[in-house]
A = this chain, B = another copy of it.
Amino acid sequence: MTKYDDMSREELETLKAQLEEEYARFKAKGLKLNMARGKPSSAQLDLSRPMLGILGPDADLSAADGTDCRNYGVLDGLPEAKELMAAMLDDEPENVIVLGNSSLTAMYDAVARCWAFGTLGSAPWCTLPSVKWICPVPGYDRHFGVTEAFGIEMIPVPMGEDGPDMDEVERLAASDVSVKGIWCVPKYSNPGGVTYSDEVVRRLASMECAAEDFRIFWDNAYAVHHLYGETERQDTLLDIAAACRDAGTEDRYFKFASTSKVTFPGAGVAAVAASPANVAEIKRRMSAQCIGHDKLNQLRHVRFLKDAAGIAEHMRKHADIIRPKFELVARKLEEGLAGTGCGSWTTPRGGYFVSFDAPTGTASRAVALAKEAGVVMTGAGATWPYGKDPLDSNVRIAPTLPPLEELDTAMDVFVCCVKLAAVEKLLG
């Protein structure tokens, strides 16, 4: 295909007419398709239906240590649930606290505790003149939503192919005592699908921080969410806990994970792993907020997923359902856009998203066009703090929810809209 930039005005006008015609045909179909959020499809959710039969009316509802899972108590989770979540968090059970249904809540609560109380003896963040946060971009909109809720000033730092721009991260962390943390989705990142290199992990662990209570929020949301079964096609991630221990900064990180995209979003189990000092503090603070989380749901998950091997086997079934969707997205983008200069995109080996960069200044127009034609994408700008992408370029594609045939159409619409927005821009 010809690069749009190289086309004459006349060629562009002709192309525009063709694209408008194509767009009109899509619009006429009255589509109602959604690629907005990283939701599992119905077929994926069906994989965990057997879990619902595990704790029936006559089931043994006792944990291995005899705890009656129906009653109050056990603030930090059943021992066997800690073990299960430790497998996801690449950590030891004693460093794990099993929580409720949402790692987002876990992260919000972690920020909220620092806000109200400080951490490990530091001043409550609410008493400081300013709190700032490093936000690798493109990133996860709900992360940015947490820091925005507390009025924390977010500083975008570009993501590269092996993680955030560490020169910039190091500069910010070292130079400003009000910089208190960083959001990280270190494996199959949201939305780029990037896995941090060992060097990036080590630099995060060992960098100089002006704030003694600087915290890495390590949201390992896609720890086990590979698209491919072959080990050599799976990304691996250096453990931040080990890296921090090596660097003598063992209190610097909070690791988060959940089974939201393993079993049921909203009815899964979340957990945090941290250093012994952090775990002790979290438990002490949390004891004012909570008697214990849902132990029956913990038991359900333990008996269904069993262990690391059980999780891996279950995730292979997920991969079999979503891999064709990611491959379809890659093919559609390649077929529709290769050579046009109208966009670049990632081809992740895991996670839930494809990150797409449209020509500067056209992302919101493309997303608006798609919406008008019945295809809802994540809002343009959502991958940036405050929802503001300065280049108006990045679009997050979430291919998991729609069935394959719907995704096929949705991608045709999206490609058409990207091209149309690009041509409109070039024609001015």
Contacts and interface: CB of A to CB of B under 8 A. Distances in A.
B266 A145 contact: no
Given A52-B57, A56-B53, A70-B45, A148 B288 contact: yes
Given A112-B116, A266-B291, A288-B108, A49 B57 contact: yes
A332 B288 CA distance: 34
A266 B50 contact: no
Contacts of A291: 102, 104, 142, 265-266
A68 B42 contact: yes
Contacts of A56: 52-53, 56
A246 interface: no
Contact of A72 (B109, B145, B266): B266
Contacts of A285: 149
Given A49-B58, A58-B49, A126-B126, A267 B295 contact: yes
A329 B264 CA distance: 45
Interface string A356-396: 00000000000000000000000000000000000000000
A69 B72 CA distance: 25
Interface residues of A, number: 60
A277 B127 CA distance: 28
A49 to B, nearest CB: 5
B264 A71 contact: yes
A287 interface: yes
Interface in A281-301: 285, 287-297
B264 A105 contact: no
Contacts of A58: 49
Interface in A103-120: 104-105, 108-109, 112, 115-117
A260 B71 CA distance: 9
Interface of A: 37, 39-40, 42, 45, 48-53, 55-59, 68-74, 100-102, 104-105, 108-109, 112, 115-117, 124, 126-127, 142, 145-146, 148-150, 260, 264-267, 285, 287-297
- Which 4 pairs show the lowest CB-CB distances between chains A and B? A149-B288, A108-B289, A53-B57, A267-B296
